[in-house]
Amino acid sequence: MEDPPVLCFLSLLKLLFLCIGFFSKPCSSAPYDGPFYDSSAYTECKPQPEDPLYNGGILKDYATENGLETAGVYSPAFVLQNLTHSTKYCFSIWIKIAGADSALIKARLLTENMTYNCIGSVVSKNGCWSFLKGGFVLDSPSQLSILFFQNADSREVDISIASASLQPFTDQQWRMNQEYIINTERKRAVTLHVSDVEGNRLQGAAIMVEQSSKDFPFGSAIAKTIIGNLPYQNWFVKRFNAAVFENELKWYATEPERGKTNYTLADQMLEFVRANQIAVRGHNIFWEDPLYTPAWVRNLTSEELRSAVESRIQSLMNKYREEFIHWDVSNEMLHFNFYEQRLGRNATLHFFEIAHQSDPLATLFMNDFNVIETCADVNSTVDDYISRLRELQRGGAKMEGIGLEGHFTVPNIPLMRAILDKLATLGLPVWLTEIDISKTIDKQTQAIYLEDVLREGFSHPSVTGIMLWTALHPNGCYQMCLTDNDLQNLPAGDVVDKLLTEWETGELTGQTDEHGSYSFYGFLGEYKVNARYGDKSANATFSLSRGDETRHFSIQL
């Protein structure tokens, strides 16, 4: 959709003040010790709107009737004063439409310098209230801005709004909220009890604790370039506990000619991950984009295609049964529909059914782009993702995972979190499956943006794994590399190494107290512990899984 008709900004502001008067309120940052982020989200259309988040935030003095009526161009709207640079603004509102059965409504922001074309969106339905959640960060301060709502296509619809909320967070407040979630969701309290064989507590026993593996899967794409490349393999294993093959499992790679399957490269890559106990995702069984569908497949008749896809699934899934923790079954189905065009609307459902029958233990994923990267892509809004997923579930598909590619240019972090909040209502594991930053961004800024995205993903409770899309090739990477060809870190690599260190429990040493106990707070995963008292010592291992209670572990000497 094109931008709204261009009006003289000063004339528009004059019109706004005439219509709204002085209801607008200057925006100001919340105090340092608050607020807590509100992760509430709703995906169902409701008879009545819920109360506004944050009691409305800096919009709490607005009333619904203060919206602006200007022949549908900026209707309804809010005037916002003194928005600050870098502040993270979290926005939510309930929307109801009339004049259409449903419509994609986008929230937009107009400042003196630019228009932010989408800071949140919702597929709104006639006769009930739908929840829009989003946010924005300004590139530069704005003395006067307009927050308004529009139908994403050319149809005229009447838009009603209720329970609007706009809550600012300083960078420090945002980081505090992230750390709070990390400490409560990614870590757990542990108390080690040391005693002798008679059960007597041993005060002053020396303790050494080491985290041997991490519970949270954090990894990267790899390609055939890792085969036989020992330095690259060592570099990878030192950092990552998860992997995904970049292209080597895709249909065009394993069966470039009809009936001639070749899994040699995938087998060799699988040997590497097996040998190093690395979890690996299966990517992908089908890709709906015809550009990446084997040329010979595109020329098949419907019946030939039906036979070919059956053969593809059975060949791939039977060969690698129980090898891959996940499968992206039909990749990017929100943007492309090659198979459904040829085989009917139920083709994707059939793919999921056969994949589950072939490997019941693998988690089956939808996987698509521009879901968390932006809300401007009308093909992949969060509501479209949810609708398609639910449609497959209703049809009987064993749909168990939400895959979000995450190919970012300039990340909108409050919007990313808002979208994750809505997806979290489904109660399914969410993976960020292909994270990178566009190569149009300089390497230093790439690293800054990457850290923002990774921190946001790791600090959201619904995210259960993160994969980078940084497979190394002689001519570089798809968009972003972590190292040069000599495996020397680029700025993005420095960020990854820093976060990997930050998100693990370093080696801990200490002594038991008067109760014979030693306590610490550790990241989830596997641990090794050594206890020594006098001339006696013992080694033990224990697991730290998610839970609210303190994990107690006893060691006898």
- Annotated catalytic sites, by residue? 332, 434
Residues 497, 501, 503, 506, Cα dihedral to 10°: 170
Determine the 3-state secondary structure of 132 from DSSP. Answer: strand
Range list of H helices, 199-301: 230-239, 251-254, 264-275, 295-298
Rounded-to-integer distance, Cα 168 and Cα 87, Å: 6
CA angle in degrees (0–180, nearest 5) for 31-36-42:
135
Q: Are the C-beta atoms of 373 and 331 separated by less than 8 Å?
A: no
Q: Are the C-beta atoms of 406 and 436 separated by less than 8 Å?
A: yes
CA neighbor of 402 nearest in space, from 379, 425, 418? 425
Residue 13: enclosing H or E segment and its boundaries? helix 9-20
Range list of H helices, 345-403: 347-358, 382-394
Q: Structure tokens of 388?
A: 């398609």
Q: Are the C-beta atoms of 449 and 411 separated by less than 8 Å?
A: yes
Rounded-to-integer distance, Cα 450 and Cα 525, Å: 24
CA neighbor of 7 nearest in space, from 169, 108, 115, 166? 115
